[in-house]
């Protein structure tokens, strides 16, 4: 043990001496990234028997990055409304030549359908607060422990989560009072067109509205589950959510239809406190190798595990952001992933941007 410590201390000594020998100017320029620790280096001094005793003297110690969040380099955004078509042209060319496109999508692609996101003004959490459901905080509505103890607050709100009943952009409450299904957004249709053109490798969606399925996108990974089906907490019976929609619309707790069960039904979305499963891991292992273009659409990448997906793709795969606001990517220094930088950031409404891209690509979006 003493021998190992001695070797480490000798390395520190040689490093400090090399800095000192470079000269005052070079040493001062290097000192911007150096912490000075008066007890960090030992000077070896031979004794009469030829061994070494170590005496502590001041040394310049190199700063080691901590295992905290590292922010990516600042890069200017491209506001699509203010820029010329050359920026769109670059994205158009990438999409045109790519054959294995991966899309990572969030609530921003469904907002134009009249489905609110979670955190913005007028979003799900603000609606929960207005309804006074007797919850400590709005997020508890999606906590599995709260749901198991008392599913009533969730089912009082649940009818607002499901794709409404109007093709207009009216509020969720208005949509639920009508009898027409919500249509997928233009962004959904663009992704569906990519799949039909055999250019889509996969869609990773954080959304639970199931509009990817309505749009006909088959190669979809629902990272947070989907409202399309539900399962009984007691007998695990899985059913199409349409079969319990009468109870959901009435604000009643949906129960299992099996006569010998009558357990509480839970939509197959990932609640806080639940495991997201292995499906994401299995898919990303394949897609991270095959992808030749990554589109990050309508998401701020704040919620795991989706927030970690961009760093799993090789750095040579171009990554494009298409979102209403800029996104500050983060990387955990504790893993071996590379620092992610968007090749292009198109800031604006997703549907408007994809409408222009569809025109350039001559895609007819049905």
Per-residue pLDDT tens for 261-315? 999 999 999 998 888 767 788 999 999 999 999 999 999 888 888 888 999 999 9
Higher pLDDT: 219 or 46? It is 219
Per-residue pLDDT tens for 66-82? 433 334 444 444 544 44
pLDDT of residue 27: 35
How does residue 336 score in pLDDT terms, banded at 50, 70 and 90? low
pLDDT of residue 228: 86
- Taking CA atoms, 329 is separated from 19, 106, 303, 316, 322, in Å, by 35, 15, 12, 17, 14
Residue 38 has pLDDT above 50, yes or no: no
pLDDT of residue 202: 98
* Residues forming a β-bridge with 70: 331
- DSSP for 224-246, please give it: TEEEEEEEETTT--EEEGGGGHH
Cβ atoms of 30 and 21 closer than 8 Å: no
Give 29's contacts (C-beta < 8 A, 6+ positions apart). Answer: none
Residue 56 has pLDDT above 90, yes or no: no
How does residue 63 score in pLDDT terms, banded at 50, 70 and 90? very low
Q: Give the separation between CA 267 and CA 233, rounded to whole angstroms.
A: 10
SS3 per residue for 83-148: CCCHHHHHHHHHHHHCCCEEEEECHHHCHHHCCCCCCCCCCHHHHHHHHCCCCCCHHHHHEHHHHH
* Residues forming a β-bridge with 292: none
pLDDT of residue 120: 74
Per-residue pLDDT tens for 147-185? 999 999 999 998 888 765 433 333 333 444 343 467 899
Instruction: Taking residues 244-262, report their average pLDDT.
Output: 92
- Residues catalogued as catalytic: 224
Cβ atoms of 40 and 64 closer than 8 Å: no
Residue 260 has pLDDT above 70, yes or no: yes
pLDDT of residue 331: 60
* Residues forming a β-bridge with 332: 69
How does residue 252 score in pLDDT terms, banded at 50, 70 and 90? very high
pLDDT of residue 118: 78
pTM above 0.85, yes or no: no
Instruction: Taking residues 197-223, report their average pLDDT.
Output: 94
């Amino acid at each position: 043990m003493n021998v190992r410590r001695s070797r480490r201390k000798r390395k520190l000594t040689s490093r400090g001496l090399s800095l000192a020998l470079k000269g005052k100017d070079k040493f001062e320029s290097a000192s911007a990234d150096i912490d000075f620790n008066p007890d960090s280096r030992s000077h070896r001094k031979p004794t009469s028997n030829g061994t070494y005793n170590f005496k502590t003297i001041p040394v310049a110690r190199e700063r080691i990055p901590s295992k905290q969040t590292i922010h990516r380099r600042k890069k200017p955004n491209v506001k699509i409304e203010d820029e010329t078509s050359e920026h769109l042209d670059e994205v158009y060319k990438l999409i045109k030549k790519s054959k294995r496109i991966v899309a990572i999508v969030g609530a921003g692609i469904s907002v134009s359908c009249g489905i609110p996101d979670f955190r913005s003004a007028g979003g799900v959490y603000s609606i929960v607060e207005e309804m006074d459901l007797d919850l400590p905080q709005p997020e508890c509505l999606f906590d599995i422990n709260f749901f198991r103890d008392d599913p009533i607050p969730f089912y009082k709100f649940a009818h607002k989560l499901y794709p409404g009943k109007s093709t207009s952009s009216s509020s969720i409450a208005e949509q639920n009072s009508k009898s027409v299904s919500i249509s997928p957004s233009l962004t959904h249709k663009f992704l569906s067109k990519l799949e039909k053109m055999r250019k889509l490798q996969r869609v990773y969606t954080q959304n639970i509205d199931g509009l990817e399925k309505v749009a006909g996108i088959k190669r979809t990974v629902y990272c947070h589950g989907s409202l399309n089906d539900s399962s009984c907490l007691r007998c695990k019976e899985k059913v199409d959510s349409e079969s319990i929609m009468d109870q959901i619309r009435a604000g009643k707790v949906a129960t299992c239809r099996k006569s010998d069960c009558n357990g509480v039904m839970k939509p197959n979305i990932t609640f806080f406190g639940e495991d997201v499963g292995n499906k994401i891991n299995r898919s990303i292992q394949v897609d991270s190798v095959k992808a030749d273009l990554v589109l990050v659409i309508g998401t701020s990448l704040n919620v795991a595990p989706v927030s970690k997906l961009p760093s799993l793709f090789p750095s040579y795969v171009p990554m494009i952001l298409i979102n209403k606001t800029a996104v500050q990517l983060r990387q955990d220094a504790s893993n071996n992933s590379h620092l992610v930088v968007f090749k292009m950031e198109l800031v604006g409404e997703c549907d408007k941007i994809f409408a222009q891209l569809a025109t350039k690509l001559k895609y007819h979006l049905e």
